């Protein structure tokens, strides 16, 4: 009986490596888009959940709650005034009494790479105020998330006067806000 030695020839190995290289070159950009899309979805769900939770806390505790963008993580003392910016890539949820901060409830940082995360509201306020009844203080608004690399991932989170949250992705306003 003759024993056969099983193995790969050099040509078979080179062809296999060439095919793997070509397939990887095709798959990696698609995979990057898929990962970015999933991170945007996760950020949207976190934002929606944060806003809805803040609304529920305002109703259940019968207090006023503000959501606003911040420059950096801050430590506020009771009776400090709220210093909000319209860039909501870092945001904070606080319980307030009038213009004074009572308690910081939550911090949130968005994960994906956005060129702009802009809050645009009626009355041009940099914050969202939720009343003890769950309504906004006459300030429906939209949070625009403008993706840095993929324009098809631009999104808008709209909050109505009743405090309801909706997510939009196909809208001329989104393209206009993200283009400027």
pLDDT value for 126: 87
Q: Whole-prediction pTM value?
A: 0.81
Least Cα distance to 121 among 161, 81, 93, 178 occurs for: 161
Is the pLDDT score of 1 beyond 70?
no
Residue range 115-140: mean pLDDT, rounded: 88
Closest CA to 143 of 170, 180, 93, 177: 177
**Model pLDDT for residues 137-158, shown as the tens digit of each residue:** 888 899 999 999 888 899 999 9
Q: Which domains does the chain have, with CATH numbers?
A: 10-179 (3.55.40.10)
Among 65-74, 78-87, 103-112, 126-135, the least confident range: 78-87
pLDDT tens-digit series, residues 96-117:
887 778 888 888 888 888 998 9
Q: Could you read off the pLDDT of 25-37 as tens digits, one per residue?
A: 888 888 989 999 9
Cα 45–96–57 angle (5° rounding)?
Answer: 45
């Amino acid at each position: 009986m003759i024993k056969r030695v099983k193995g790969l020839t050099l040509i078979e190995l080179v062809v296999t490596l060439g095919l793997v290289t070509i397939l990887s070159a095709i798959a990696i950009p698609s995979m990057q888009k898929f990962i970015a899309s999933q991170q945007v979805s996760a950020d949207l769900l976190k934002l929606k959940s944060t806003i809805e939770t803040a609304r529920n806390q305002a109703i259940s505790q019968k207090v006023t709650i503000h959501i606003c963008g911040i420059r950096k993580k801050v430590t506020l003392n009771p009776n400090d005034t709220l210093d909000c910016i319209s860039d909501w890539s870092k945001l904070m949820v606080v319980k307030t009494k009038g213009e004074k901060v009572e308690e910081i409830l939550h911090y949130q940082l968005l994960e994906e790479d956005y060129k702009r995360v802009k809050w645009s509201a009626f009355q041009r306020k940099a914050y969202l105020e939720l009343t003890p009844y769950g309504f906004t203080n006459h300030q429906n608004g939209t949070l625009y998330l403008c993706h840095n690399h993929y324009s098809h991932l631009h999104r808008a989170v709209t909050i109505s006067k009743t405090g309801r949250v909706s997510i939009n992705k196909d809208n001329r306003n989104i393209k206009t806000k993200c283009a400027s």
